[in-house]
Amino acid sequence: MTVPRILVIAGSDSGGGAGIQADIRTVTLLGGHAMTAITAITAQNTVGVQGVHAVPVEMVLRQMESVISDIGVDAVKIGMIGSAETAAAVADRLAMLANVPIVFDPVMIATSGSVLADAATIASFERLMAIATLTTPNIPELAALGGDEIALRFGTHVLAKGGHGEGPMLTDRLIGPHGVLKAWSNARIETVHSHGTGCTLASAIATGLGQGWDLIDAIERGRKYVREALNLAPKLGQGRGPMGSPFGFHGHA
């Protein structure tokens, strides 16, 4: 099989723990070729986000068009979107792609607690959920988007991540238009070095879909990859540091 071509539409993280940097690392380690359309440049580190500079919508679209028209795309991962205008334009362009799986991670708040999307941008996420194969909100994001029923409302699948839950066991639920399809529970990994978990999981799933895996297999490999990355965290920075890079990782097909 040729190398799967994964288009990542997301923001840059200067600290290297999340965003485009985490996406490229994940796609590469799982055997894909990462292409990017950067939506925002952030000044951030392990303790917070010190600044956000949105990339103009036209430039985001030009990046997308450059790779779509020449290299082609087998799957798309959407992360930090930057603005409501960008969300609408990206949704319109991606709607023109035929049979390309799309994983949308609705980034609203960074692991450090910094807000990365305003109310108008969050409202515009509906356009992206309507074209997504899978949307991957954490607990507060799912609540802000409308709860479990968004799977039915937008005719999509939702991976409701349990990482923000309480207690020693965490559960992720895959919800389809007609209810929960599967749930995965694992013991919480006690670490503060969890920056980039959402970006990494969504990119891992997108890579699996681009490789032709079915949704559940892609999710299961992605979850295993994230857990291994958490266990390998190099403990960098003074706050919530980046995860590690599981070189030689092998997930089942």
Q: What pLDDT band is residue 152 in, cutting at 50, 70 and 90? A: very high
Task: Calculate mean pLDDT across residues 165-187.
Answer: 92
Task: Name the residue among 151, 139, 140 with its Cα closest to residue 180.
Answer: 151
pLDDT of res. 167: 81
Q: Within 13 Å of residue 110, how many CA atoms lie on the same side as its CB?
A: 28
Task: Name the residue among 191, 198, 241 with its Cα closest to residue 222.
Answer: 198
pLDDT of res. 117: 78
pLDDT of res. 111: 66
pLDDT of res. 2: 86
**CA gap 69, 83 in Å, rounded:** 24
Q: How does pLDDT run across 192-222, given as a tens digit for each residue?
A: 888 899 999 999 999 999 999 999 999 999 9
Q: How does pLDDT run across 52-111, given as a tens digit for each residue?
A: 999 999 999 999 999 999 999 999 999 999 899 999 999 999 999 999 999 999 988 766
Length of the chain: 253
Q: pLDDT averaged over the chain?
A: 93
Give the CA distances from residue 117 to residues 142, 159, 186, 251, in Å, rounded to whole numbers and listed in that order.
Answer: 14, 20, 30, 33
Residue 116 has pLDDT above 80, yes or no: no
Q: What pLDDT band is residue 253 in, cutting at 50, 70 and 90? A: low
Report the predicted TM-score, pTM, of the whole model to 2 decimal places. 0.95
Residue 1 has pLDDT above 60, yes or no: no
